[in-house]
Amino acid sequence: MQLPQAPSFKLTGKRALVVGASSGIGLACAVALAEAGGHVTIAARRLEQLSQLKAQMQAKGWQVSVLQLDVANIEQTQEQLLSVEPFDILVNSAGLAKHTASLETKVADFDDVMAVNLRGAYFLTQSVAKRLISAGKGGSLINISSQMAKVGGIERAVYCASKHAVEGFTKAMAIEWGMHKIRVNTVCPTFILTELTQSTFDDPAKKAWIEDKIKLDRVGEVQDIMGAVLYLASDASALVTGTAMMVDGGWTAE
């Protein structure tokens, strides 16, 4: 009897682009992919933070490059990605939230959120895929979505709309690009404790709401996302495309 061989989680020889890598979930994803052997290009708007992160990662012996990039500037993003070698892996963690009651949503806030979470994510994913297809290569494209892509939330109508839309284009792109061996998936985290979410956790009422919804009885940490992203980036998920990996502690199980 010949025993099956488990697929590898190693990313040796793979080029990865992590957008929104200057902090929080994006930073953690960059670390996970680099530690697994990938050559990681960390991208965001904040060049100073990227440079500091690069130095820390290189001190670990990891392969790291820096790319200053704003996904809301679609034309510039397209030009930048056309000028570099194709990336085998994309992790898009760039995101924006402007939470208000839906009756109080301002057009400018709606447009700002959609420019990053939807338009930016869509055309970033498209740009990476175009380079892969032109090079005749497959790849794994991952957008960091949210549990709010599956449910609704108070004061989160715009954010929910943007993330529901990400799930929609993910499925369509996965269908279209499967013939090119390009996989497209999302990771849907619950509330993750970061600098950006600290104010939410500092509100006793909101903290109680979050803790009541998470069945595992604890809030999320960036480490919880690292394993999910590594799985989707690696050959361990070779038959996974067009789907969402829920990392929500059971929030959406109801």
For residue 76, how many other CB atoms are within 10 A of its CB? 13
Beta-carbon contacts of residue 179 (< 8 Å; ≥ 6 apart): none
Q: Is 159 a catalytic residue?
A: yes
Catalytic residue, chosen from 62, 87, 123, 159, is 159
Catalytic residues: 159
